[in-house]
Amino acid sequence: MSNASPSPARAAFLSAVGCYVLWGFMPLLFMGQAAIGFSAPEILSHRALWSVLIAGALVLFAGQSKQVRAALGQLKTLAWLALATVLIALNWGIYVWATTHHATLEASLGYYINPLLNMIVGLWLFRERIDKWGWVAIGLAGVGVLFQALALGRPPWISIALALSFGAYGVIKKRIPVDAQAGLFIECLLLLPFGLTFVIWLQAHGLGHGFATWEGFGWALLNGPMTVFPLALFAWAARRMPLSTMGFVQFLAPTIQFMIGVATGEAFTPLRAVSFAFIWLGAGVFALAAVFRARAARRAMAVAEPV
């Protein structure tokens, strides 16, 4: 019995790791499309178009069709899902533009800021506890964010917008009483008319790339699974893990994005190096604290089990 109890938490943790690794490599998808002529709005439209098919398949696989119909019939739930859709569409648009305009490092900064927001929001809204090492980690990462802003020579608007939009999206997803697959399908369904309309307009004017060649069609199709799978994993994990823990795991995605930004030749100045050093130190402190807490919890369970 005792060995089975940690499995839901382990599954949620692995889902969170999976979604952030996929998100970390997402810039390569958008860069590949941009290299053959896709604009950021066209990429965003194909994300909306193909995502609804994958999300619908997940709903059928999970047997949640009735839940989708029920959610569509509840005005309050639908309104919250519509707000979540606006936030994720805003996040997608900014991120696609950044990664196709040589601003992947600034985008990665946004996803370093977001875990700080998650920790603070988790404390404020959900009464989640942050110990002293958590605050040390927040402080170190905060210093890193400040250095990053100084390195840019301006407020990091892309970073701030990405952090706020995705942070708010995570809070809403945690509170909506709809399972992950059902909620995600409805969000994709709400985006479909906009994406489909723009794709049709592009094709009618000879400006589209998604149906111009087999290569373009292949890239366009990839937007579906690469959009839906990490979002489904995130939505599933977000309802089963503390926001503070989600915030820690999220450091995976911007670290991978950072490496992609450097590898593709974006400017990496000494000041930027200092900023990322502080951020990584903060992530390391948080990771070690999490390991020590887990060991302490296992020891406490081992002592309590005979009783």
Give the model confidence (pLDDT) of 199-213 as tens digits.
999 999 999 999 999
Tell me phi and psi for residue 59, to 5 degrees: -60, -45
Q: Answer whether residue 4 shows pLDDT above 50.
A: no
Look-up: residue for tokens 């890239």?
219
Give the pLDDT mean for 115-135: 72
CA distance 88 to 57: 20
DSSP letters for 218-286: HHHHHHHHHHHHHHHHHHHHHTTS-HHHHHHHTTHHHHHHHHHHHHTT----HHHHHHHHHHHHHHHHH
List of long-range contacts for 118-127, beta carbons under 8 Å, 24+ apart: 118/167, 118/170, 118/243, 118/244, 118/246, 118/247, 118/250, 119/243, 119/244, 119/247, 121/167, 121/171, 121/243, 122/242, 122/243, 122/244, 122/247, 123/244, 125/171, 126/174, 126/242, 126/243
CA distance 175 to 213: 43
Please write the tens of the pLDDT for every residue from 225-245.
Answer: 998 898 888 778 877 777 567
Q: Answer whether residue 29 shows pLDDT above 80.
A: yes
Look-up: residue for tokens 């178009």?
49
CA distance 166 to 241: 16
Torsion of CA 172, 173, 175, 181, to 10 degrees: 150
Q: Answer whether residue 17 shows pLDDT above 60.
A: yes
CA distance 88 to 111: 14
pLDDT at 14: 87
Please write the tens of the pLDDT for every residue from 45-68.
Answer: 999 999 999 999 989 988 889 999
Q: How confident is residue 128, by pLDDT bands cut at 50, 70 and 90? A: low
Look-up: residue for tokens 């903060």?
282
Q: Answer whether residue 36 shows pLDDT above 50.
A: yes
- Provide the whole-model pTM: 0.82
| Angle, in degrees to the nearest 10, between helices 214-238 and 7-35 | 150
Mean pLDDT of the chain: 85
Q: Are the C-beta atoms of 241 and 13 separated by less than 8 Å? A: yes
pLDDT at 221: 95
Please write the tens of the pLDDT for every residue from 135-169.
Answer: 888 788 788 888 888 888 887 889 889 988 988 88
Q: Answer whether residue 79 shows pLDDT above 80.
A: yes
- Cβ burial of 295 (10 Å; 0-12, 13-18, 19+) is exposed
Provide the phi-psi class of 162: left if phi over 0, else alpha when psi is between -120 and 50, else beta.
alpha
Give the pLDDT mean for 2-6: 47
Give the pLDDT mean for 109-138: 75
B/e letters for 139-149, b = 16+ CB within 10 Å, e = fewer, are: ebbebbbebbb
User: 119 or 104: whose pLDDT is higher?
Assistant: 104
In order of 87, 124, 139, 230, 277, the CA distances from 283 in angstroms are: 26, 21, 11, 22, 10
Please write the tens of the pLDDT for every residue from 263-290.
Answer: 999 988 898 889 888 988 887 787 677 6
Q: How confident is residue 85, by pLDDT bands cut at 50, 70 and 90? A: very high
Tell me phi and psi for residue 5, to 5 degrees: -60, -35
Look-up: residue for tokens 């000041």?
271
